Amino acid sequence: MLGVEPKRRIYLSPPHMSGRELKYIHDAFETNWIAPLGPNVDAFENEVAKYVGANEAVAVSSGTAAIHLALSLLNVKKEDYVFCSSLTFVASANPILYQKAIPVFIDSEPESWNMSPVALEKALVDSAYQGKLPKAVIVVNLYGQSAKMDEIIKICQQYNVPIIEDAAESLGSTYKEKASGTFGDFGIFSFNGNKIITTSGGGMLVSNNREVLTKARFLATQSRDIAPYYQHSKIGYNYRLSNILAGVGRGQLEVLNERVLRRREVFRVYKQELGKLPGVIFMPELDNSYSNRWLTALKIDETIAGVTSQEVINFLDGENIEARHVWKPLHMQPLFKDTKYYKHNEQDISKSLFELGICLPSGSSLTEEEQERVILGIKDVMKIKV
Ligand SMILES: *Cc1c(COP(=O)(O)O)cnc(C)c1O
């Protein structure tokens, strides 16, 4: 029987290879430098450090591992406080639990959707009063958008608390012309399969402090002492990136700027086509910042739009289009029930962003026709005549 061809699935953010990765993988095979570490790893670290303008970088097996190393290097231990943005992926905070430390979640503010300097200050005032300041603040740059780093740095400096910048989603973004990921004492990137560039799985820890990154390399390779045999005096991890995967990363890094431009174009088209619909509000971009627009995110205000974010997601799914809710804030997660949380004001901003927010397919390989399908789907569910 003749039927209608099922429409091809449109994914949120699929991997987008450049073709240049194979050369580096081939080099690794030629020299049998499959593992451990090797020339692609060294080169990838140098290239990323140079790209973002950091003194040094350490390639690791995931962004989560990079956060864990940063916490370890800051000597985060049992019962220590670590502050963290609430509106983020669970990977931002899981390493706090690995260290048996206590997370405290900080709300977003409406202009960047990222950590509220107001809520952060409240939390710091409280913890100073208790005589127990946090060992670190993990600031997330959501969907490519930088947090208000100037204000956050100023507050953290007042209390002398180090910053880990979770730039897993914001490689290629800038804030006041400085690369995202270079504002904290540590920056971390992720090369997971859905990120703007990928090694299929991997991460990077960056810092200007070379000495501390030497320690990071030590911790990430089972903390092996300098001795003629295997000797260990400290707990260690197996967190380094393989030479093959670093090769994939090198091929991807060469096209990072193109990928950023393409994702920004995807955002621009969505905004142009949907930005004037009633109840549709796109994620803003701070004036002094440049977002890689990793994911196009927007709010659907049901009271004006007549549909809920869930209805839009369900409808698009029926059209074989993958859209998703904005991250469910960590203070609302069962894993973190009873965890302390500081709101921006009487409203709970991150909760409301979660309730209204959705992310649309934003891959750099998204075709014009595919994007048109997404746009028509949204107009359709909102009953807008096109
Ligand atoms: C992806 C992501 C991570 C974790 O990176 P992995 O490489 O998957 O471990 C951490 N934080 C945020 C905000 C992320 O989006």
Q: How far is the CA of 258 from the centre of ligand 1 (A)?
A: 22
Note the pLDDT of residue 384.
83
Binned at pLDDT 50, 70 and 90, residue 108 comes out as very high
Which structural domains are found in the chain, ordered by start?
21-253 (3.40.640.10), 256-381 (3.90.1150.10)
pLDDT digits (tens, 9 = 90+) for 247-298: 999 999 999 999 999 999 999 999 999 999 999 999 999 999 999 999 999 9
- Tokens matching residue 13: 């953010």
pTM for this entry: 0.97
pLDDT digits (tens, 9 = 90+) for 176-218: 999 999 999 999 999 999 999 999 999 999 999 999 999 999 9
Residue 36 in this model has a pLDDT that exceeds 90? no
Q: How far is the CA of 382 from the centre of ligand 1 (A)?
A: 32
In our burial notation (b when 16+ CB lie closer than 10 A, e otherwise), range 140-176 reads bbbbbbbbbbebbbebbeeeebbbbbbbbbbbbbbbe
Binned at pLDDT 50, 70 and 90, residue 42 comes out as very high
Residue 80 in this model has a pLDDT that exceeds 90? yes
| Residue of the CA atom closest to atom 5 of ligand 1 | 63
pLDDT digits (tens, 9 = 90+) for 339-378: 999 999 999 999 999 999 999 999 999 999 999 999 999 9
**Taking CB atoms and a 6 Å cutoff, what residues make up the pocket around ligand 1?**
62-64, 88-89, 91-92, 140, 166, 168-169, 190, 192, 203
- Is residue 322 within 8 A of residue 361, CB to CB? The reply is yes
| Bridge-based pairing state of the strands 163-166 and 186-190 | parallel
Q: Which atom of ligand 1 is nearest to 64's Cα?
A: 9
What average pLDDT score do residues 8-15 get?
Answer: 97
Which of 107, 130, 131, 102 is closest to 119 using CA atoms?
107
Q: How far is the CA of 195 from the centre of ligand 1 (A)?
A: 8
Share of the chain above pLDDT 90, in %: 96
